[in-house]
Every structure is written in C-alpha cells, then in structure tokens.
Structure 1
C-alpha cells in the first residue's frame, strides 16, 4: 500500500515538474515570468523552466496586426456630436478621414509588450487619433482632396511612433495608410463640384506650362541653330579670305620674279576685272533726248 502511494506521489511530482517544459513555435517568442517578474525570453524550440505556479509563460506571435481608425460610413450618430474621424482642416473645413495603422511586437522589446499588452490597443488608438488631428489641421482642404492625402502618410506614421515612444509598449509601427478623404455628406455635392473645377484648372495650368516649356525649348533650338550657322559661315568666310590672301601673295611673288612682270600684271588685272564684270549688268535709261548708262549688280538666276 505504501509502495503504491509512493509511486503515485512520484508520478504526480514528475507530472508537476513536467509542467515546466514548454514548446515555442516558429514565428513567435515566449516570455517567462518568474514570481511576476520577467525572467527570460525564449525563441522557437523546446524549453524547460520551473513548474506551473512558479513560472508563467506568455506566447507572443510576431505577426502583423492592423487597427482601423477614423470615420465609418453608415454609422448611426447624434447630429450634434461630430462623428469619429471627422477632422478640421487648416482652412476650417471638415473632412471625413479613415486610417489603418499596421504594427507588430518588437522582438527586441517583447518583454515590454507582455507587460503592457492590455494598454497597446487603447494607446495606439489615442496616438493615431491625435496624429491625424494634428496633421490634418495643418493642411488646406484643396491639398487633401486633390492629392487624396497620400503625402501625409509618412508624417502621420512618424508622429504616432513619436507619441508612443515614452510608453515603452514594445511594438513597431510599420506603416499608416489613408483611405481617400471625403467631405461630409451634407456638402458632398458642393465639394465634388469644387474638386472637379480645381482638377480642371490644375490640368489647364499644367498644359499651359508644358506648352510654354515646349515653345521655349523650340526657341532655344532655333537660336542655337542660327548661332551655329552664323559661326560656320564666319569660319568659312575667314578660310576663304585666308585662301585668297595666300593665293595673291604667291601670285605677287611669282610676278615679281618674272622677267616680263608688267605683262603678267596686266593679264592678271584683266582676268580679275572679267570676273567682276560677270557679276554686273549694264542698264540704259533714256528720256528721248539723252541716254544714260549705269552698271548694277546682276540679278541671280
């Protein structure tokens, strides 16, 4: 009888000690609290600690979580109370905003996450709402509606992370996305008409700017072509002048060395005069009594 009792006690003791064995799956961490204080953080695998009652093991999946904030269409609400997500813009207009915050536990601060996990969602909500209100309060309604507020996402992300940092929640804010902001239902049609008009004006302004840039580019190209052509003509004229000067110097030197230089000069003069006369034409004017002759440049064919 005593043997059976001892065996049962031994089995019970072994079973109790076995409660200290735990398995951590891939993609999660385990935080071991001993007597209420964080003792260690365990990664994936089989681990052993003190039995139940002495150690407490909390499993923390490292998966991504998302939290939606702001305006929800179709919600019943009192008319005198502004609905959640209806924010005031920098030019005193109202806009309905909906945001999604993506976060996950920080593996390097998972102990803080376990200690404050009951406060994570409420604090993320408060920080998100505060960041949305602060950022949208600096923007005019035109920028918000035309750009669909995409340019505000990095700043909202930064502010949420900044607001949560003092609380040591052990989470990482990964991203913030904004749905397309919408005006309140009561003035939606007016805002839509205004948005269309602003979009058309923006497109017209962009078209005008592009046409002006194109005209400027064409003018610069034409000016460059004209300058290039003038420089080429200048170089060509200079080259021709140098060639003629060289030819004349060589001719003058050969004439100076010729025994019959006088006749050679006369022949050269006649040849050059013939070249000039071929570019001229003789015209006659008559008044019935007298005739007048004058020379003019020949017309090009």
Structure 2
C-alpha cells in the first residue's frame, strides 16, 4: 500500500460533520468531527465543510501522507453528476455547488454523493449486505433513509432520491415533520425522533443514546422505545413489501443499540407480514462508519483508483 491509496472522506450529518483520512482497506486516521451549524443557515454549513476539508487535507500533508481525492456525502437531493446539493430540508441549501467549492479549496478530485446511498454502497461492498443481490439498507441517524439494492445494483431512481423511507407516514398523523408532511417515520424512530418523544413525555431533554442506556431502569424510556420500535417496524414492513429484499439491514448510529433495537423491531416486523416469510433483519457491523466508508469509495473512484 502506498500513500496514493489515501483519500479524505467527509460525511455531513444533521448533528455533526465527520472527516477522516482513509486507506484502501478502510482504516482511518486524522478523524475529526465538528457540529453541523444548520441553525446558522446553509452558508454556515458550507463554510464548516470547506474549513474541515482544508484542515484535514493540510493535516495529512503535514504528516507526510497527503490525500489524493475527496469524497463528500450529504443529505437531501443530490446531483452526483454535477456535484451539486440540490436541496436538504434540515440544512436549507438549494443548488449548492459543493464539488466546485471543495475541489477549489483543495485542488483535488472531488466526488459528491448522497449520504445514505454512500452508506448503502459501503454496506453492499463490505458490510451486512455483502453477497446479497436484493437488500433494503435502512440508515437510522438524525433522520432515516434507505438504500434499495436490486440485482446487486444500488437503485438510483428517476430523481435520484429512492429509499426515502423516513417520510413514509406510519406514525401519528397529527405530528408534522420538518419536511412539511405528517406522520413521517423519522419523527418517531430516528435519533432525533427518540429524543423528541422522550422530551414530550417527560419534559427532559436527553439524546437517544441516553434513552437506550436507561431502558431497564426508566419506565418513560421503555415506553418511548416501544413506540420507536413498533413505528420502525411498520416502516420496514412497507419498505419490504414494496422492494422484496432478501435481507433488511439496520445501519447508522442508532443501529448500535444492538439487540435492544433489533429484538423488538424484528418481532413487530415479522408479525406485520403474517402471510409471507419475512426477510432477514440484521444490524450492520459498520455502525456509524458506513457513510464515511462510502464517501471513501466515491473518493477513490473520483481519483480513478479501484474501489
């Protein structure tokens, strides 16, 4: 392995922007994360991305191991060919020319992709969907979205936005989502949704990780978690009935809850389709790293290297 195998991967999430230098085997160094300043508007988010990319590429060069391409993955509607972030409800940008901005800051080949599709690409190549021709990969992060793998290929869709399972209306239809619709899955079963449900029930503000940590000794956490897993299962049933996968993979940060998430969700998922064999439901071994690994794959492709 040579230093030409090194790329910079950047994953923009609703909570944080993560960056790391990746080698060809997915090993990472120089990892850094900064908060996503979405409350300050899209220009602030773009500035944070540009500053983080410049900082990490400079750090790699100073360490004597420069990167040779950048892979940037973001939420929302993404034009991967033009390298433009067309729209993201949680960030508020419209037609942000991210490839030009990042490429101009680094003078490096730059690929821009959809964060969930990139995570799905990583899962299909090196994760829990490896070797499966038909899969549904559901990424549970600040929001929720999915990647559909059909015949061994990631489905791109007519508008390049397939798998928006987070906006299937399977929750309380009185609850309005940030997207403007009502009852969206991600309002109940994402990390943000878990925190929202707990705050509404108790008046206390905690994150999803803390809710999971107290499922055995906090009756409010347990009650919230029951809503989270049952609503998630309804969304998974809808997704599975439409796409007919052999395997459903739960990925993203919330999937790291392990059996606390998998066991009740699997039971509700299987009971939601009593007339047929339910697809296998598993948790990803990649956890929250899938987006970064997918960004690394895109970066290597941008540099003309073998992914």
Q: Given the two structures, how large is their TM-score scaled by the length of structure 1?
A: 0.18
The structure whose residues are more often helix, as a share, is 1
Question: Which of 1 and 2 has greater Rg?
Answer: 1
Higher relative contact order (CA 8 A, sep 6+): 2
